[in-house]
Chains A and B, each alone.
Chain A
Amino acid sequence: MIITKKRDFKDLLENLKNYKSFFLIGCSECATLCGTGGEPELTAMKEALEAEGKTVTGTLHPKTGCQTLGTKIELKKDKEACNAADAIIVLSCGAGTQSAVEIFPDKPARFQMFDERCSLCGECVLDKTGGICPVTACPKGLLNGPCGGTDNGKCEVSPDIECAWVRIYERMKKTDQLEDFRKVLEPKDWSASRKPARLNTREKKEEKK
């Protein structure tokens, strides 16, 4: 179970300012239970974006968003809607988001072993790092670019690890986001991942009433 919280809508709009049209992806698993990526949240997000003058080309509520291959198959019927969107918004956890990152760049998704995609750090930076999580994908969790151990796209820790920051650089270059690469990411707020975490779904339901 991965506990997610909604992002601040104003921050989200700031992130989206360069884009006009979107395709939305939720998730039927944890994000639905947490009230962040279920059908009602997808509808609410669609309406909120449209109220801001944006276009939503379609939505998908996949069975398991973090399961790249399955989500990819489910997305087949939405191919045109996806192509028409400037950007994809994922209403789920970091793993679901990074599945989408893998599905949507020009490279084909391939069968993979189980990769760790999200560290549940509690303070997601995916919007600032090209949709690839350096907290998880870089053994040092660096936030501001590759270290001196980067070697032709490989990591100093193991040649089996691709350098997260080279991947991020290449993706941000492709998606024309290098201006964001230049911005310094401040030290992380680790209090956001203080253990043990807990979620009371009853409180959520009461909030809605």
Chain B
Amino acid sequence: MSLKSALESGKFTVTAEVGPPKGTDIAKILHEAEALKGKVDALNVTDNQSAVMRISSMSFCKLLLDMGQEPILQMTCRDRNRIGLQSDLLGASILGIRNVLCMTGDHPNAGDHKEAKPVYDIESVQLLNIVRALNSGKDMMGNEMKGGTDYYQGAVVTPEAVPIEPQLMKFEKKVNAGAQFFQTQAIYDIEKFKGFMEFAGKFPVKILAGLVLLKSAGMANFMNKFVPGITVPQELIDELKEAGKEKALDAGIDIMARHIKQLKDEKICDGVHIMAIGAEDKVPLIMERAGLL
């Protein structure tokens, strides 16, 4: 089933993500993807995440399609200008890719090619508008094309950004620019997330709550300190600490399973986006504990 049909059927939808490696040895990512087959509804393929140069998202999306999986092409505006972005969108379309997640992209400063010239000719809101134009059979300049695309367009939002007001205004711009689904930055406080959903729920878009698997108390503290827009509450950090080093990952799996279950049972949002960050093989276990498998 396509991501669009899954979300529109009203089913509690689960997406996860894989990050292509640096280098052509793809044994590990293939294994991860295989483990998720038939479990999740769609799989994001990151686009040079954290501005670290890796295999292109589009290539791995095509391999996923060949494996019979539903890929979501992550597309950032960091590395391509408006010609490159549109050309790649057309290229991905003829490969059979139907889901695109439009984002601005981490600055090269975060990655392993800090000297790179950042592009950002276009940014996320404008990219959504461009996808909509391509879907209608025209390029962004209004030139008629021979054959348009048929993308299900997604975007991202940070529900715990500080300050939140400009973030919500940008969310609204993204909805108006054609976003049909959102995957959020990681959330850990479901009560706070309900507040966000009170706002976001008013719009005709599907929302997948982003969840990052906590592997240790140290990781949680690191994210609180260094990752913008993510706050891990102290009681969760304590829970990981109490579990001890050996069992911290297991406690992290429990925390995520518990959150998924609450989001689903209380019908807070349309699904979840699981970011296991290197522990993709644990996703089926998380889903099992959440009662989804």
Contact = CB atoms under 8 A, between A and B. Distances in A.
Interface in B92-148: 103-104, 106-107, 109-110, 118, 120-126, 129, 140
A148 B107 contact: no
Nearest to A135: B120
A141 B161 CA distance: 19
Interface string A166-193: 1001000100001001101011101000
A145 B169 contact: yes
A170 B202 CA distance: 25
B66 to A, nearest CB: 31
Nearest to B129: A184
Contact of B118 (A139, A153, A181, A188): A139
A169 B163 contact: yes
A153 B124 CA distance: 20
A148 B156 contact: yes
B82 interface: yes
Contact of B161 (A150, A158, A181): A150
Interface in A116-169: 139-153, 156-158, 165-166, 169
Contacts of A178: 169
A19 to B, nearest CB: 23
Interface residues of A, number: 30
A75 B146 CA distance: 60
B78 to A, nearest CB: 8
A143 B229 CA distance: 20
B163 A140 contact: no
| Band of interface residues on B | 35 or more
Interface in A95-132: none
B165 A169 contact: yes
Contacts, number: 94
Given A166-B163, A169-B163, A186-B126, A142 B104 contact: yes
Contacts of B122: 187
Nearest to A139: B107
B177 interface: yes
Contacts of B109: 139, 156-158
A122 to B, nearest CB: 14
Contact of B158 (A143, A148, A181, A188): A148
Instruction: Output the residue of A145, A151, A178 with the most chain B CB within 10 A.
Output: A145
Contacts of B82: 187
Nearest to A178: B169
Instruction: Output the residue of A147, A153, A166, A186 with the most chain B CB within 10 A.
Output: A147
B106 A187 contact: no
Contacts of A181: 166, 169
A129 B126 CA distance: 17
B8 interface: no
Nearest to B167: A146
Given A140-B118, A148-B158, A156-B107, A166 B229 contact: no
A143 B163 CA distance: 18
Nearest to B120: A140
Interface in B160-182: 161-163, 165-167, 169-170, 172-173, 176-177
Nearest to B184: A148
B185 interface: yes
A150 B161 CA distance: 7
A178 B170 CA distance: 12
A186 B118 CA distance: 19
Given A140-B120, A156-B107, A184 B125 contact: yes
Contacts of B121: 187-188, 190
Instruction: Output the residue of A139, A142, A165, A181 with the most chain B CB within 10 A.
Output: A142
Contacts of A139: 107, 109, 118
A182 B169 contact: yes
B228 interface: yes
Given A182-B172, A187-B140, A146 B125 contact: no
19 contacts: A139-B118, A140-B120, A143-B125, A144-B125, A144-B173, A145-B167, A145-B170, A146-B166, A148-B156, A148-B158, A148-B161, A148-B228, A156-B106, A156-B228, A166-B166, A173-B165, A184-B126, A187-B126, A188-B121
Given A143-B125, A144-B124, A184-B129, 14 more contacts: A140-B104, A145-B167, A147-B123, A148-B103, A150-B228, A156-B107, A169-B163, A169-B166, A182-B172, A184-B125, A184-B173, A184-B176, A184-B177, A187-B122
A-B complex: 9 closest residue pairs judged by Cβ atoms:
A145-B170, A151-B228, A169-B166, A144-B125, A140-B120, A147-B104, A157-B109, A148-B158, A142-B123
